[in-house]
């Protein structure tokens, strides 16, 4: 199609245009090579930023309760994540209120409840709790900041980390009929 357009023109006027086009192709900022370079640069920067922002050489995804309690630099109200297990019998919520108050302690892998001798951190949260919040196998990750005056961790978001082992309902609770509703608020 291109060659048809050009053959309509007188021969002597074509050649300079073709050469100019060819020259622009190599050196101009519109050339494929430059555009590809810009694209590659943008992608590389985006990937590098995501790697920098996410890789925990820069920041850890969360700190444990004892790390948080020991490191007073984290108590200045900065936003961070603290992970641990729900301290047994610490949960309080008044009737008709959406404010939950509870305490977290350190979690040992595969052991329900908090680790023996672990420090505890008081926390508050306004909103709906995740389904597996009260499951003793769950590790709870709080996103929020520490309120030094009231000595409570003010939670913006609750995430629940589940054990990496999967076990059937029948194996853990042999009495449960297959297909019956799952206890403990699971799905």
Residues that bind another protein (CB under 8 A): 32-33, 35-36, 39-40, 43, 46-47, 50-51, 53-56, 60-62, 83, 130-132, 135, 137-138, 141, 157-173, 178-179, 182, 184, 186-187
Q: Cβ of residue 167: shortest distance to another protein, in angstroms?
A: 5
The span from the CA of 130 to the CA of 145, in Å, is 19
Q: What is the DSSP letter of 75?
A: G
Token pair belonging to 97: 């209120």
CA 48 to chain centre: 17
Considering the complex, state which of residue 69 and residue 140 has its C-beta at the smaller distance from another protein. 140
Q: Cβ of residue 181: shortest distance to another protein, in angstroms?
A: 9
Considering the complex, state which of residue 103 and residue 158 has its C-beta at the smaller distance from another protein. 158
Considering the complex, state which of residue 143 and residue 147 has its C-beta at the smaller distance from another protein. 143
Considering the complex, state which of residue 14 and residue 46 has its C-beta at the smaller distance from another protein. 46
CA 183 to chain centre: 28
DSSP-assigned states of every residue in 17-45: HHHHHHHHHHHSTTSHHHHHHHHHHHHHH
């Amino acid at each position: 199609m291109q060659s048809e357009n050009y053959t309509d023109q007188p021969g002597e006027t074509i050649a300079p245009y073709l050469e100019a086009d060819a020259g622009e192709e190599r050196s101009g900022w519109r050339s494929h090579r430059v555009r590809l370079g810009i694209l590659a640069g943008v992608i590389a920067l985006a990937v590098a930023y995501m790697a920098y922002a996410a890789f925990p050489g820069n920041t850890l995804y969360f700190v444990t309760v004892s790390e948080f309690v020991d490191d007073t630099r984290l108590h200045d109200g900065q936003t961070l994540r603290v992970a641990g297990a729900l301290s047994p019998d610490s949960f309080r919520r008044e009737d008709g209120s959406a404010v939950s108050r509870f305490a977290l302690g350190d979690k040992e892998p595969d052991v329900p409840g908090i680790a023996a001798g672990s420090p505890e951190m008081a926390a508050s949260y306004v909103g709906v709790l995740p389904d597996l919040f009260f499951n003793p196998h769950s590790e709870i990750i709080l996103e929020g900041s520490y309120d030094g005056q009231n000595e409570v961790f003010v939670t913006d978001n609750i995430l629940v980390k589940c054990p990496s082992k999967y076990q059937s309902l029948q194996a853990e609770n042999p009495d449960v009929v297959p297909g019956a509703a799952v206890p403990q608020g699971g799905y």
